[in-house]
Amino acid sequence: GVGPCDASPDEGVVEDLPLIDEKAVEQLTEGLISYYLPDLQRSKSALQELTQNQVVLLETLEQEISKFRECNSILDIDALFSEAKHYHNKLVNIRNEMMMLHEKTSKLKVSVIII
């Protein structure tokens, strides 16, 4: 015969589980979705708006950065012009000194010839 030890441990478990009502599961799922879906949709639209705002902000920042780069290049050009002016003044002074030295040497030549 079949004794108590020969019975399977799973025997009788299937009969103990309640039958799952598919319609109840569907209704519970719809209820859960209808409860959370509006909040999720609002969150989704808020995240989309935030993402769009971030894109606009990034574009604005890139424009500002390019303006600063232009500004720096203008400052570099300004420094270059002031340096060029400085060297131009040096050249003018050297030319004036050379003209003065030329006059002095011419006068010396004339006085040497006369002597």
pLDDT in tens, 64-80: 999 888 888 888 888 88
Burial code (b: 16+ CB inside 10 Å, e: under 16) for 66-76 equals eeeeeeeeeee
Q: How far apart, in Å, are the Cα atoms of 33 and each of 40, 41, 68?
A: 10, 11, 51
pTM: 0.43
Q: Which residues of 85-113 are buried (b: 16+ CB within 10 A; e: fewer)?
A: eeeeeeeeeeeeeeeeeeeeeeeeeeeee
DSSP three-state, residue 10: coil
Residues of the chain with pLDDT under 70: 1-18, 115
